[in-house]
Amino acid sequence: TTNSLKMFYKYIMGKEILFQYFVIKIIVYLIYRIIRTIIHIESLIWMILKNIIYQEKEEDDGNDVKVYDILMRYKFYLTDPSKETDFICFFNSFTSYDKIISSNNWHFYSLNNYYAYFIYLPQSYTFQSNSSFTTYTFKNGIFLAKVNASDFLSTTNIVKNLQGKSIMLFDMPFSCVDDFLSLLYNLIPAPKHDDKIIKIFKDYSSLNSVLKIINTNDNLTHEECKKILLNVIRCIMKNQKNNEIWIIEMASESISLIPYIHSPSTSSILYAFYGRDKIDQAILYYLKEHDYKDKQLKELLVMRRKLKKFMTFFTWKTLFEKAILNRVKPQNPLQLALTLISKSILDYRLHKKYFINDIIYYEQFVSDPYITLTHFLKNCGLLNQFTIPEISSIKEHQVKRKFTENEIEEIRSIIGMIDLYGENKELFNDSSITYHETDEYL
């Protein structure tokens, strides 16, 4: 009885501390946004005064892009997608859109109804550091440029054609895609193609802001959406050279944008999907990162219950999965993680016709990386351009925690509700998920 009381006390205290920390987190972010608004007003006044005093800008001189110094950066979650509210900025100068587009240091960051935002990186991003491109731009950008929507929609007049070849690799959350990307990054060009260079952009999330615009503007036609995406893609690819093959790991939420991206003008872009054959490990990794190491999943559940109408003010987590979340109504971190992972699979299934091959399974990759890479490069039309190293196998990443019987029933219930496996229900059977009476992460 004493042990039970101690465990109950620890549980209550744990929840109390979690709630207090979460409230502080909310307050800190609110203070940040208030300061951001105040400095934005001061910056606007300074921009007007500076232009009056120094006559920096004349009407119709083409210098319509406003450049701002980044004074501070802050996100509610570091893993949130790129958006303009990530920064507190102060006006610096005017420049032209041509200069933004022609510079290799300026990168497309996000889009809203009024402006396209570009961020200035003094040093180029490289995948060698294995860091997220989204996090890299957030931490290392020194200037932010605001481009009027009318100028942004003229990108196709400046960037006439896409250069090189690009592969958008969409992946299931927590499918351990890093090993696959690392092998691709280290491929050696074949002798006749020694000028070929593979560039990898891990965790590119700037398309999420475009998805938000399309999802929240019902008056946009299909052709208008295609026009927006064509300009966005040309902004993203503007620095690509003819001999470069870009592999861009995209957030799975952006899969629904493929019909708008896909066109004769973007025929050099291919689409692939990477995931896990057994969903249990993806769920366990999700729980390990965001239920054990931090409490993101619990916080998101609280926000969905208490701050649902204001949630996008703080974070875009779960924004693009609203429909399926409203259907499932997850009550705990396991159910939320499963629902978010499942959404990526359902989106892939819905848009499968655009993808170059079936799912690239992590389990197949670690057991036979040579065959997996061979098939991938062949489907991309790159097999004769690169030499694949002889690798027999790769160490598999696994979380050793097992599911309890109750957890398996929860998983079965949600999988059945959303029809995750469709006609292939035999993929989910007693051997696909193992369980054990423990909830420790080993």
One DSSP character per residue, 391-430 reads ----PPP-----B-HHHHHHHHHHHHHHTTTTT-GGGSST
Dihedral sign, Cα of residue 206, residue 186, residue 379, residue 160: positive
DSSP code of 257? G
Ramachandran quadrant class, 385 (left: phi over 0; alpha: psi -120 to 50; beta: rest): alpha
Taking the mean position of all CA atoms in its chain, how far away is CA 70? 22
Q: Which two tokens stand for residue 237?
A: 């690819």
Query: How open is the CA angle 111-113-114, to the nearest 5 degrees?
Result: 90
Which tokens in the block code for residue 202? Answer: 């891990």
Say which amino acid occupies 43.
S
Given 2.30.30, 3.40.50, 3.30.160, 1.20.1070, which CATH number is that of 158-427? 3.40.50
Residue 131: what pLDDT?
81
Q: How high is the pLDDT of residue 279?
A: 87
Domain with CATH 3.40.50 in the chain: 158-427
At residue 272, the 3 state secondary structure works out as strand
Determine phi and psi for 212, rounding to 5 degrees: -65, -40
Return the pLDDT at 9: 44
Burial of 85 (0-12, 13-18, 19+ CB in 10 A): middle
Q: What pLDDT is recorded for position 129?
A: 67
Per-residue pLDDT of the chain (442 residues; tens, 9 = 90+): 555 544 444 444 456 666 788 899 999 999 999 999 999 999 999 999 988 887 766 655 567 899 999 999 999 999 999 999 999 999 999 999 999 999 999 999 999 999 999 999 999 898 876 689 999 999 999 999 999 988 898 888 888 788 889 999 999 999 989 889 988 988 888 878 888 889 999 999 999 999 999 999 989 999 999 999 999 999 999 999 999 999 999 989 999 999 999 988 888 999 999 999 888 889 999 998 888 778 899 999 999 998 989 999 999 999 999 999 999 999 999 999 999 999 999 999 999 999 998 889 999 999 999 999 999 999 999 988 898 888 777 888 888 888 888 999 999 999 989 888 765 544 444 434 433 333 322 2
- C-alpha Rg value of the chain to the nearest Å: 24
Q: What is the DSSP string of 68-102?
A: EEEEEE--SSTTSPP-GGGEEEEEEEEE-HHHHHH
In angstroms, the CA 17 to CA 265 distance is 54
Cβ proximity of 344 and 255 under 8 Å: yes
| Predicted local distance difference test score (pLDDT) of residue 52 | 83
pLDDT of residue 390: 80
Are the C-beta atoms of residues 153 and 231 closer than 8 Å to each other?
yes
> Which pLDDT does position 59 carry in this prediction?
56
In Å, how far are 20, 75, 93, 301 from 56, measured between CA atoms? 49, 33, 8, 50
420, 342 contact by CB (below 8 A): yes
DSSP β-bridge partners for residue 145 = 67, 118
Among candidate residues 440, 435, 442, the one with its CA nearest the CA of residue 280: 435
* Per-residue confidence (pLDDT) for residue 74, from 0 to 100: 97
The residues, ordered by sequence, that sit 6+ positions from 216 with a Cβ below 8 Å of its Cβ are none
Q: What is the spatial distance between Cα 283 and Cα 294, in angstroms, rounded to a whole number? A: 15
pLDDT of the residue at 141: 96
Cα 200 from Cα 388, distance rounded (Å): 17
Distance linking the first and last C-alpha atoms of the chain? 28
Determine whether 150 is exposed, middle or buried from the number of CB atoms within 10 Å of its CB (0-12, 13-18, 19+): exposed
